[in-house]
Structure 1
Amino acid sequence: MNLADMLSYADIGQLSRIATTYHCECNGNSKNDLIQSILSTVNRRDVFEAQIGGMKLEDLRFINSLLFDARDAFSLEELVARVQQSKFGVSSVESESVSSEQVISHKTAQKKSTKRMKATKEKQIPETGPRETIARFKQYGWLFNGFAGHNRYLFQVPTDLKERFKATMERRFVSQVTYADGEPDAYRDEQLLMGDDVLQLLHYIQHNEIPLTSDGVMYRRNILQILDLFGVKEQLPARGEWRFGYGRRIKDYPNRLALLYDYCYFKGWIEETSRFLTLTALGKERQTHRIPEQPDKIYQFWIRLYRGPIPNIKSIVHWIDKLSQHWVNAETLTLALTPYIKPFYYDQPETIIEQRLIGMMMHLGILRIGEHNEQRQVIRMTPMGKSIVAGLSIDDDTIILNS
């Protein structure tokens, strides 16, 4: 629902609090006057952008986490958890105490009648911690609470406000990055190569006897032979290099090979026996078609695989897409987005965006990376990348892959 619809369902108490937040001058006893006054104020671009401009970084991270979620409703527990996740560096002890409190309060609220629950929920949000954030977003008219089904108490963000948030944040990001004049001197483009290399990997496994170590890993000789077949060459991981969290075999193989290997494994095309790596019956059937794997399918798998260490990966990819419609200086883009990326153990935000995101997006054929005589390293979305991130299938005839 849009903001106007949600305001019409809100009680006069919440409308009065929203009107007070925006200093609306209207008849506080008239629901219609309150709604009209709120809408006319909130819909003013200067007012909306002033509110966004005054938000703390944790609040921006919080709202950013809601904008790209496929769901349109969230429980109180989910919102409290997201506020906690937006405060980088908060201890786990604090998180556990908040979690325990929210579960107890939620169970207590469920035992009450519908009428009493509404009143109780208004009082449940104290003026400290994550619940203060939720209360503040309700007062802005950015979160509305109600029921969905039997005793399910959920919060929603108005659909039209989501789009305004995205547009406002995009303008902020654009002001922080630098764009290049003209084309780079040279650039790297790997569109469609990863799909071809799925075939190469399966073909090699099908026609070679590949022994495995006791840990189920291919030996160096086989790894190098596979890498020689690929359209993109990679170096083997250094001994003792810190590598975990980004897939099942990220610790054993180079980044791109690890993704392809994990993709084939989870598709059920390959299996690791006690001694050898072989194709399954499903993998052999897949090879009879000799069709390169579709990049959008590998992209979707990558998003799911990397979502653990990078929980907001979809939103960061969205912003990279929006900011890279033209050749953009990679360093300024990294500086703009790193405040929204949480460190993952020894991986700092800069490493995550440069290696785990931009580097892998290039391998997926989503990004081009170039060298510019003035802006140094620059990046730009590929036509295929724009379509894939937008959620389109590459089977769509309107997609131009190599322009």
Structure 2
Amino acid sequence: MNLSDMLGYADIQQLSRIADVYRCECNGHSKNDLIQSILSTVSRNDVFEAQISSMKLEDLRFLNSLLFEARNSFSLEDLLARVQHSRFGEEIIKPELDPPKKTKRSKKKTEAVEKQLSPREMIAKFKHHGWLFNGFSGPSRYLFQVPNDLKTRFRDTLARRFAADLQYTDEPPIYRDEQMLIHDDITHLLHYTYHNEIQLTADGSMYKRFTLQLLDRFGVQEELPAKGAWRFGYGRHFNQYPNRFSFVYDYCYHAKYINENQTLLTVTGPGEERMNSRPSSEAEQIYRYWLKLYKGPITHLLSLVHWINTLAVEWVTVESLRTVLVPFIKPYFYDDANTILEQRIMAMMVHLGLLRLGEHPIYGAVVRMTKAGRAVVAGVSLEESGSIVVH
């Protein structure tokens, strides 16, 4: 539903609160006057821009987590979790054994921290702005929705703001485009497994010599992880395999193309079928699986991919994209926000054939969405489900 529909179902108390936020001058006892005044005010671009300009970073992160979801309704528990995920700890003040004397500046900073809204207060704030509405009857009373037309306006407004800070360039003389390579390497993995007796270690990973032989057959060359490197969170054997190889292996395991039979890796019946024929929708299936696998460590992955899809229609520098998107990326253990953006998101999007990566003689690293990538990201909606937990 759009904002006008949701206002029509709202009670006069909520309408009065929304009208107060936007300083509407109208008859507060007339529901019709309240609705017309709110719609008239919110429709003004200057008012809408001012509201976004006044939003704190954690407000924007929370809003951002709602803008690209396929589903329309959110439970209170889900919203509370999203508010928590939007707080990256910047506001935390570490206690000191012998704290210095409070200056006016430090006192102001402490007061600002103390005034941070609780998750429930944040949700109430969004309701008072008319950005979130409760359902109106039955079980939907306990669910929340964002008006569809406001979603579109938020996306368009933020896209303009982000684009204004980006550096766009002409086409670089050289660039990488890995479209179709991941499909070929799925076939290589299955063929090699089918024709060789691949032995597994006690933790279920392949012995090093098998991994190296497979890497030699792949279209994208990778090095084995450094010994003792901290690697976890992005796949079943991520600590043993390189990034892309680990993902290809996990996808084949998820699709039931391969099976770990205690000490041996074998190809299943569906795997043999895949060796002979690639499904027409495989690009979408791989993309969908990547989102589900990586959205555990990267809580805002879906929105970040959509922003890259929106902002990288033309060649754009990685550096300027970093400036815009890094504030929306929560560090994950030993992966800082920059590492997540470049290695876990953009590099994987290149491997999936969604993104091209080039080297510009003046501006350095640049990226641009592929035509197929834009179609996949725009056309595939990730159904709301729990992120994949790998064992």
TM-score, reference length from structure 2: 0.88
Question: How many Å apart are 1:128 and its aligned residue?
Answer: 4.5
- Count of equivalent residues: 359
Higher relative contact order (CA 8 A, sep 6+): 2
User: Residues 329, 290 of structure 1: CA spacing in aligned structure 2 closer, same or farther, 3 A cutoff?
Assistant: closer
Question: How many Å apart are 1:290 and its aligned residue?
Answer: 6.0
Structure 1 residues 235-294: Cα deviation after superposition (integer angstroms, max 9, x where no partner): 111101111100112111111111110011111111122322111233223324366882
Unaligned regions of 5+ residues in structure 2, if any? 93-114, 382-391
Partner amino acid, structure 2, of 1:166: R
Partner amino acid, structure 1, of 2:149: D
Identity of aligned residues (%): 59
The whole-number CA distance in structure 2 between the counterparts of 1:133 and 1:23 is: 20
Paired residues for 1:4-403 under 5 Å: 4-89=4-89, 128-150=117-139, 152-180=141-169, 182-289=170-277, 294-391=282-379
Question: How many Å apart are 1:229 and its aligned residue?
Answer: 1.2
- What's the counterpart of residue 111 of structure 1? none
Structure 2 contact 134–140 (Cα < 8 Å) conserved: no
Question: How many Å apart are 1:219 and its aligned residue?
Answer: 1.8
User: Residues 371, 241 of structure 1: CA spacing in aligned structure 2 closer, same or farther, 3 A cutoff?
Assistant: same
Question: How many Å apart are 1:153 and its aligned residue?
Answer: 1.4
Partner amino acid, structure 1, of 2:357: I
User: Residues 136, 326 of structure 1: CA spacing in aligned structure 2 closer, same or farther, 3 A cutoff?
Assistant: same
Structure 1 residues 84-117: Cα deviation after superposition (integer angstroms, max 9, x where no partner): 221112899xxxxxxxxxxxxxxxxxxxxxxxxx
Question: How many Å apart are 1:60 and its aligned residue?
Answer: 0.4
Question: How many Å apart are 1:162 and its aligned residue?
Answer: 0.6
Structure 1 residues 189-224: Cα deviation after superposition (integer angstroms, max 9, x where no partner): 101110111111100100111122222221222112
The whole-number CA distance in structure 1 between the counterparts of 2:282 and 2:317 is: 29
Structure 1 residues 166-191: Cα deviation after superposition (integer angstroms, max 9, x where no partner): 111111111121111x2102101101
The whole-number CA distance in structure 1 between the counterparts of 2:29 and 2:209 is: 79
The whole-number CA distance in structure 2 between the counterparts of 1:291 and 1:149 is: 42
Single out whichever of 287-296 and 163-172 deviates more from structure 2: 287-296
The whole-number CA distance in structure 1 between the counterparts of 2:314 and 2:13 is: 47
Question: How many Å apart are 1:75 and its aligned residue?
Answer: 2.1
Structure 2 contact 187–274 (Cα < 8 Å) conserved: no
The whole-number CA distance in structure 2 between the counterparts of 1:31 and 1:254 is: 61
The whole-number CA distance in structure 2 between the counterparts of 1:42 and 1:291 is: 47
Partner amino acid, structure 1, of 2:9: Y
- What's the counterpart of residue 120 of structure 1? none
Unaligned regions of 5+ residues in structure 1, if any? 93-125, 394-403
TM-score, reference length from structure 1: 0.85
Report SS of the residue matched to 2:262.
coil
Partner amino acid, structure 1, of 2:77: E
- What's the counterpart of residue 108 of structure 2? none
Report SS of the residue matched to 2:125.
helix
Structure 1 contact 199–291 (Cα < 8 Å) conserved: no
The whole-number CA distance in structure 2 between the counterparts of 1:316 and 1:291 is: 27
